[in-house]
Amino acid sequence: MDHHPALVALLALAATSVACSPASGRAEAGAEQSANAGGGSPPCKPVETREPNAPSQRPTVPGQTRACAVESNVAFHVTVVARGLEHPWAVEPLPGGDLLVTERPGRMRVVTAAGQVGQPIANLPKVDARGQGGLLDVALSPSFDSDRTIYWSFSEPRTGGNATSVGRGVLSQDRRRLDQVKVILHAMPTYDGDNHFGSRLAFGPDGKLYVTLGERSDKPMRPQAQRLDSDMGKILRINPDGSVPQDNPFVGQSNARPEIWTLGHRNVQAAAFDPQGQLWEVEHGTNGGDELNRVVKGKNYGWPLVAFGEEYSGVPIPGAVTEKEGYERPVYYWDPVIAPSGMQFYTGDAFPAWKNNLFIGGMGATSLVRLTLENGRVSGEEHLLKNRGQRVRDVRQGPDGALYIVTDQGNGELWRVAPKS
Ligand SMILES: [Ca+2]
Ligand SMILES: [Ca+2]
Residue 394: pLDDT band by 50, 70, 90 thresholds? very high
Q: How far is CA 256 from CA 152, 188, 226, 244, in A?
A: 25, 12, 11, 13
pLDDT in tens, 331-377: 999 999 999 999 999 999 999 999 999 999 999 999 999 999 999 99
Which pLDDT does position 34 carry in this prediction?
39
Between the CA of 286 and the centroid of ligand 2 the distance, in Å, is 11
Q: Are strands 279-284 and 392-397 parallel, antiparallel or unpaired?
A: unpaired
The span from the CA of 380 to the CA of 27, in Å, is 16
- Is residue 8 within a helix (H) or strand (E), and if so which, with residue range? helix 5-15
pLDDT in tens, 175-211: 999 999 999 999 999 999 999 999 999 999 999 999 9
Between the CA of 25 and the centroid of ligand 2 the distance, in Å, is 17
Tell me the H-state helices in 179-302.
none
* CB-CB neighbours of 380 under 10 Å: 23
pLDDT in tens, 80-117: 999 999 999 999 999 999 999 999 999 999 999 999 99
Between the CA of 12 and the centroid of ligand 2 the distance, in Å, is 33
pTM assigned to the model: 0.91
pLDDT in tens, 303-315: 999 999 999 999 9
Q: Which of 230, 205, 225, 207 is nearest to 215 (CA)?
A: 225
The span from the CA of 90 to the CA of 348, in Å, is 20
Q: Which of 265, 251, 320, 340 is nearest to 296 (CA)?
A: 265
Which ligand is nearest the CA of 202, by number? 1
What are phi and psi for residue 83, nearest 5 degrees?
Answer: -125, 175
Which ligand is nearest the CA of 317, by number? 2
The span from the CA of 361 to the CA of 366, in Å, is 8
Which ligand is nearest the CA of 210, by number? 1
Between the CA of 22 and the centroid of ligand 1 the distance, in Å, is 31
Which ligand is nearest the CA of 150, by number? 1
Amino acid at 403: L
For residues 65-91, give the mean pLDDT: 97
Q: Has residue 174 got a pLDDT over 50?
A: yes
Which pLDDT does position 12 carry in this prediction?
38
The span from the CA of 3 to the CA of 8, in Å, is 6
Which pLDDT does position 43 carry in this prediction?
75
Please list all protein residues whose beta carbon sits less than 5 angstroms from ligand 2, which is an ion.
Answer: 301-302
Q: Is 140 within 8 Å of 171 (Cβ atoms)? A: no
pLDDT in tens, 24-63: 333 333 333 334 433 445 678 999 999 999 999 999 999 9
Which pLDDT does position 42 carry in this prediction?
60
Between the CA of 154 and the centroid of ligand 1 the distance, in Å, is 12
Give the total residue count for the chain.
Answer: 421
pLDDT in tens, 323-338: 999 999 999 999 999 9
Between the CA of 343 and the centroid of ligand 1 the distance, in Å, is 9
Give me the chain's average pLDDT, please. 92
Q: Is 195 within 8 Å of 232 (Cβ atoms)? A: no
Measured over the CA atoms of residue 235, residue 237, residue 242 and residue 247, the dihedral's sign is negative
Most distant pair of Cα atoms in the chain: their distance? 67
196 is catalytic: yes
Q: Is 129 within 8 Å of 104 (Cβ atoms)? A: yes
- Which carries the bigger pLDDT value, residue 294 or residue 29? 294
Q: Has residue 3 got a pLDDT over 70?
A: no
Between the CA of 201 and the centroid of ligand 1 the distance, in Å, is 6
Strands of the sheet containing 149-158, edge to edge, are 135-140, 149-158, 161-171, 178-186
Tell me the H-state helices in 234-312.
none
Which of 87, 196, 265, 284 does the annotation list as catalytic?
A: 196
Mapping DSSP onto H, E and C, the string for 123-152 reads: CCCCCCCCCCCCEEEEEECCCHHHHCEEEE
What are phi and psi for residue 222, nearest 5 degrees?
Answer: -50, -45
Dump strand ranges (E) for 107-208: 107-111, 135-140, 149-158, 161-171, 178-186, 201-203
Which pLDDT does position 10 carry in this prediction?
39
